[in-house]
Structures are given as structure tokens and as C-alpha cells.
Amino acid sequence: MINLEVPKKAGALINQAYQAAAEVFRPISRKYDRAEHTYPSELDMFAALLDGLNSSGEGGAGAAGVRRSGSDDSAKGNRNGANLNVVLGTIEMCWGDVGLLLSMPRQGLGNAAIGSVATDEQLERFKGMWAAMAITEPSFGSDSAAVSTTARLDGDHYVLNGEKIFVTSGERADAVVVWATLDKSKGRAAIKSFVVEKGTPGFEVVRTEHKLGIRASDTAVLRFENCRVPRENLLGTPEIDTKKGFAGVMQTFDNTRPLVAAMAIGVARAALDETRTILEAAGVTIDYDRPANAQHAAAAEFLRLEADYESAYLLTLESAWMADNRKPNSLQASMAKAKAGRSVVEIALKCVELTGAYSEESLLEKWARDAKILDIFEGTQQIQQLIVARRILGKSSAELK
């Protein structure tokens, strides 16, 4: 049975992450928001902290994967492992700055992909590597099944051809997990993920984007032209199983969506904390012992936003707990991502409205800009709602579009 109280053993991790967020991230947050595309050199000291965020050691390089094993874990009782730890650490770090978290070495979303679908040998081989994840292409956004980048087997290598856009950490990471199709005629079942290391001939970083938010993080356009990747860098199995369909690579999202939800929760909490301070300084008291309709309008609105935050927070803990306990969590991961992504946008914008913090004198302005990407990447709000509907109604992607 799930217990949504934070485990006591996670206390040291949370405190460590909070201290890093408060003492390092917050002081340089505005600096790197203004200095877009400049690498935050202060982050180099956090390599050891990244290893601590994955304290169980299951997830490889900085992110725990949702790994399905054949063993029966149910007899061992509840398990609070790497997935929950990374989510709790991510919340604290993004309370400091989400763009800086995305810039931290060995904490890329590609690491979660490696942790989710790699073989044991691959987990060991790629341990310590900073991996970005490249899915989106110029021809599609949220429909991951529309991947047109190709991977053709040629001897001991796969030859990749295609272009990827909106790749977080695409310029700075050591490698990129690239989604490509082995055979377009076989549909989504033929889509596999490949680890492509920087410096591989045929792999080019075309440009980095100027963005609305998370400016401390680099977002790149990548091109692969006859890029030869060792066949052992294909994550998981090379077999095309049309019965299993898209499940193999999509398993990655079972892990990354709770992480993005955790990022949203961290930003939302930062906005709420700052707004509470500003309201109290203005003489507005938030009283939890009185009905909202008997309080100042600003206090009543704050209580509504805080309740929205709490629901997103609990959904995210549930999805991470399920992953740690080897329970299928696709529905819960999408619910957490949908709720947290929508909530952080509303909370951040409402906090700007309540406080009038529209200038760069307050980080609320920045958080309002940062919030929007958390509702978009790793599957937009609309895609998450569609996935939830399919799971609840028992419909396939072909039956419910």
C-alpha cells in the first residue's frame, strides 16, 4: 500500500538538494537567464551530488529507469527507491532553478532512457555519461510514432540519417539518445533508440535555440548524415515485435514524465513561497483555520493555488513510487505530467498577477516564463489527456485519436 509521506531516509537527500538550490542555484539564476547559451561553470562542482541523487545506483548515470524484472517484488513490501529519490531531489533543485537543473552534467533525460530500456551490459558501459534525448523532428511534435529518422544496419554499425529539433542539452551532453526507425513499413514497432556519442562522424549540432524560458539550458537542433553508430549502442533488443508495438521505447516516458512533473512542482512551490512572503509583507494573512470565503481575496486565491499544487505533488509521488515497486505506471505518469504541467503555468501566472511582479526585480517573472515548457516537453498537455483517456477507456491509439 502506498504511503505518500516522504520517507525518513530521503531526508538527507532532500536537505542536500535544497542547500544546493538555495546556496548555488538561486544566486546565479538571473545571471544565466540573461546570459543565454553561456555554460554555468558553477555546476561543475555538483558531479558528486548527481551521484547522490541516484543513491540506489540502479539508474546508471544520474536518472533511474523504470525497469521491469521477472522477479516478484510484492513479497518484499513497499519499496522507496531511485525513482522516488530522484523525484524528491528534482523538486528541491527546481525550487532553485529548473534551467540550471537541466544543465547539470549526467542528469539528462537521455539518462532516464538508458536506465529504462538498456541491457545490464549497456547500463554499465554508459554509466557516468551525460545523455540528452532526441525525439522531435521538424515534421512532427507530440506524435512520437511519426519518427522519420532512419537507422539501417550495415555490418557492425547502424547508419543514421535524419534531423532532430528541441533537444535539451543537445550541445553540451556527452551523447544523445536518438529515436529512429529500422523499417518505416512496419510502423511504430520498428522505432528504436540509439546512443550516439559526441564526435561520431556524421553527427552535427546545427544550432542552439533562443527561448522563452529555461535559458540556462541549451536546446539544440541536431543532424545525422550517414552517421555510423555501433550496433551495440541500440538500446534494448533489435528485434521488431509488431505485437508489442511501441511499448519498448515508450517505456522511457514512464520514467521521464514524473521527472518533468517534479520539475513543475519545484517551480510552482518556488512561486508560492515567494508569493506568500510578498502577501504577508503587504499585510495579507493566510489563515488555514478559516474558510477561504471569509478571508482576503488574495489569501483565498492563494489557498486555491496551493491546493492545486498539492494534488499535482501527490500524483507525482504516486507515479514514482509505482515505478520503484515495479508496477505499470504509464497512466499515473501521464496524469502527473498533465496535472503538474497545467498547474505550474496557472500558479506561476497567478502569482505574478497577485503580486504585480512583472519586472526582472523578482524571480516570479522568470518562473512564469520557465513554467510553460514544463507543460509542453515530454508530451504536451493535450497528449497526456489523450493517453489518460485511452488507458481509462481501454482504447488503442488507433481507436481513440
The alpha carbon of 244 is separated from its chain's Cα centroid by a whole number of angstroms, namely 25
pLDDT of residue 77: 64
pLDDT digits (tens, 9 = 90+) for 138-164: 998 777 778 999 999 999 999 999 999
What is the CA angle 260-15-84, rounded to 5?
40
Query: Hey, what CATH class is 247-393 in?
Result: mainly alpha
What is the predicted pLDDT for the residue at 241? 76
Q: Render 123-177 in DSSP notation, one character per residue.
A: HHHTTT--EEEE--BTTBSS-GGG---EEEEETTEEEEEEEEEEEETTTTSSEEE
304/72 Cα distance (integer angstroms): 42
One digit per residue, the tens of pLDDT, for the chain of length 401 reads 566 788 888 999 899 899 999 999 999 999 999 999 999 988 887 655 555 554 444 333 334 444 544 444 444 667 778 889 889 999 999 999 999 999 988 778 888 888 878 889 999 999 889 999 999 999 987 777 789 999 999 999 999 999 999 999 999 999 999 999 999 998 888 999 999 999 999 999 999 999 999 999 999 999 999 999 999 999 988 988 766 655 556 677 888 899 999 999 999 999 999 999 999 999 999 999 999 999 999 999 999 999 999 999 999 999 999 988 889 999 999 999 999 999 999 999 999 999 999 999 999 999 999 999 999 998 899 999 999 999 999 998 889 98
Give the residues across from 207 on adjacent strands.
Answer: 221
Strands 131-134 and 175-181, sheet pairing: parallel
Pick the catalytic residue from 204, 274, 378, 399: 378
Return the CATH fold of 131-233: Butyryl-CoA Dehydrogenase, subunit A; domain 2 (2.40.110)
CATH architecture of 8-125: Orthogonal Bundle (1.10)
Predicted confidence at residue 137, as pLDDT, reads: 96
Residue 98 buriedness (CB in 10 A; 0-12 / 13-18 / 19+): buried
φ, ψ of residue 131 in degrees (nearest 5): -120, 125
Rounded CA-CA distance 262/91 in Å is 5
DSSP label at residue 179: E
pLDDT of residue 111: 86
Identify whether 346 is a catalytic site residue. no
Radius of gyration of the chain (CA): 21
pLDDT on residue 83: 86
Output phi, psi for 244, to 5 deg. -75, -30
pTM of the predicted model, to two decimals?
0.91
Burial of 24 (0-12, 13-18, 19+ CB in 10 A): buried
Q: Any idea where the domains of the chain sit in the sequence?
A: 8-125, 131-233, 247-393
